[in-house]
Chain A
Amino acid sequence: MTRLRPLLLLAGVAALILAPIGQGNYIVYTLCSWLLFSIAAMGLNLTLGYAGQVSLAQAGFMGIGAYITALMTLAGMHWGVAVIASILSSFAVGLLLGYPALRVQHHFLAFVTLAFNTLLFLVLRNEEDITGGSFGLSGMERPSFFGLSTDSNLAFYYFSLVCFLIAAFSMWWILRSPWGRAFKALRENPIRAESLGLKVRRQTLLAFAIGSAFGGLAGALQSPLVQFIEPSSFALMHSLKLLLMVVVGGAGFFFGPMLGAAVVILLPEVLRFTEGYYLIIYAFLVIVLMVYSPNGLIGLGHKLFETFKPKHEARRDLKQGVQL
Chain B
Amino acid sequence: MAELLQILISGLAAGSIYALAAVGFTLLWQASQTINFAQGEFVMLPAFFVLIGMTVLGLPMWTSVILALVLSLLILGVAFKRLIVEPMLPHGTLPLVIATIALGLLMKESVKEFYGATAQPFPAIFPQDVYHIAGASVSVQDIGNLVVSMLAIGGLQLFLSRTRTGRCMQASAQNPAVAEILGVNVKRMVLYTFLINATLATIASVLISPIYLAKFSNGETLGLVAFIAAIVGGFNQIRGALVGGLLIGVIDNLSAVYISAQYRSAMPLILLIVIILLRPQGLLGTSEGRTV
In the complex, are the beta carbons of A119 and B93 less than 8 A apart? no
Chain A interface mostly: helix
Within 8 A of B (CB), among A112-133: 112, 114-116, 118-119, 122, 125-126
A260 to chain B, nearest CB (A): 11
B259 to chain A, nearest CB (A): 12
Chain A residues within 8 Å of B109, by CB: 279-280, 283
Chain B residues within 8 Å of A290, by CB: 88, 95-96, 98-99, 102
Q: Does B128 contact A (CB under 8 A)?
A: no
Range for the number of chain B residues in contact with chain A: 35 or more
Chain B residues within 8 Å of A236, by CB: 224
Q: Does B246 contact A (CB under 8 A)?
A: no
Given contacts A126-B263, A324-B35, A115 and B269 within 8 Å (CB-CB): yes
In the complex, are the beta carbons of B88 and A291 less than 8 A apart? yes
In the complex, are the beta carbons of B272 and A111 less than 8 A apart? yes
Given contacts A115-B269, A247-B94, A104 and B106 within 8 Å (CB-CB): no
CA distance A105 to B102 in the complex (A): 26
Residue of B98, B112, B265, B291 touching A122 (CB-CB under 8 A): B265
In the complex, are the beta carbons of B291 and A243 less than 8 A apart? no
In the complex, are the beta carbons of B276 and A108 less than 8 A apart? yes
Given contacts A112-B273, A122-B265, A323-B92, A286 and B87 within 8 Å (CB-CB): no
Given contacts A105-B291, A323-B92, A324-B35, A115 and B102 within 8 Å (CB-CB): no
Q: Does A294 contact B (CB under 8 A)?
A: yes
A267 to chain B, nearest CB (A): 13
Instruction: Render A276-306 as a binary contact track against B, CB cut-off 8 A, 1 for contact.
Output: 1101101110110011001000000000000
- Chain A: which residue is nearest B87 at the CB level? A291
In the complex, are the beta carbons of A324 and B94 less than 8 A apart? yes
Chain A residues within 8 Å of B87, by CB: 291
Chain A residues within 8 Å of B231, by CB: 111
Range for the number of chain A residues in contact with chain B: 35 or more
Chain A residues within 8 Å of B92, by CB: 294, 318-319, 322-323
A21 to chain B, nearest CB (A): 36
Q: Does A35 contact B (CB under 8 A)?
A: no
Residue of B103, B266, B270 touching A287 (CB-CB under 8 A): B103
In the complex, are the beta carbons of A287 and B94 less than 8 A apart? no
Chain B residues within 8 Å of A220, by CB: none
Chain A residues within 8 Å of B112, by CB: 276
In the complex, are the beta carbons of A112 and B88 less than 8 A apart? no
Instruction: Render B248-280 as a binary contact track against A, CB cut-off 8 A, 1 for contact.
Output: 000000000000001101100110110011001
Chain A residues within 8 Å of B224, by CB: 114, 118, 236
Given contacts A279-B109, A283-B106, A318-B91, A291 and B99 within 8 Å (CB-CB): yes
B98 to chain A, nearest CB (A): 5
- Chain A: which residue is nearest B102 at the CB level? A286
In the complex, are the beta carbons of B266 and A119 less than 8 A apart? yes
Q: Does A100 contact B (CB under 8 A)?
A: yes
Which 9 pairs between the two chains have the least Cβ-Cβ distance?
A: A294-B95, A283-B106, A286-B102, A294-B91, A283-B105, A104-B280, A115-B269, A290-B99, A279-B109
> Assuming A107-B35, A318-B92, what are 18 further A-B pairs, CB within 8 angstroms?
A48-B94, A54-B94, A100-B277, A105-B291, A108-B276, A111-B231, A112-B273, A115-B272, A115-B273, A118-B265, A118-B266, A236-B224, A279-B106, A282-B105, A284-B106, A291-B87, A318-B91, A324-B94
Residue ranges of B at the interface with A (Cβ–Cβ < 8 Å): 35, 37, 83-84, 87-88, 91-99, 101-103, 105-106, 109-110, 112-113, 224, 227-228, 231, 262-263, 265-266, 269-270, 272-273, 276-277, 280, 291-292
Residue ranges of A at the interface with B (Cβ–Cβ < 8 Å): 48, 54, 100-101, 104-108, 111-112, 114-116, 118-119, 122, 125-126, 236, 240, 243-244, 247-248, 251, 276-277, 279-280, 282-284, 286-287, 290-291, 294, 318-319, 322-324
